[in-house]
Amino acid sequence: MNVTIVDYKSGNICSVINSFKEVAKNKVKIEVTSDLKKIKSSDKVVLPGQGSFKSCIDALNTINGLVESLNDFAINNKKPLLGICVGLQMLADVGYEETQTKGLGWIPGKVTKIDNQNGKYKLPHIGWNEIKIIKDSKIFKDIKDKSHMYFVHSYEFVPKDKNVISAITNYSSNHVCAVEIENIFGTQFHPEKSDKIGLKIIDNFINL
Q: Which residues are known to be catalytic?
A: 85, 190, 192
What Cα–Cα distance (Å) separates residue 68 from each residue in 19, 43, 62, 164? 27, 17, 12, 23
The span from the CA of 138 to the CA of 155, in Å, is 25
| Residues in Cβ contact with 116 at an 8 Å cutoff, skipping those fewer than 6 apart | 122, 123, 172
* Among the listed residues 14, 199, 8, 171, the one whose alpha carbon sits nearest the alpha carbon of residue 90: 8
Strand order in the sheet with 94-95: 101-102, 94-95, 109-113, 155-159
DSSP state at residue 67: H
The kind and range of the H/E element at 19 are helix 14-24
The strand ranges marked E within 134-198 are 148-153, 155-159, 165-171, 173-181, 184-187
Instruction: With H, G, I as helix, E, B as strand and everything else as coil, classify residue 169.
Output: strand
Q: Which residues contact 32 (CB under 8 A, 6 or more apart)?
A: 4, 5, 7, 13, 17
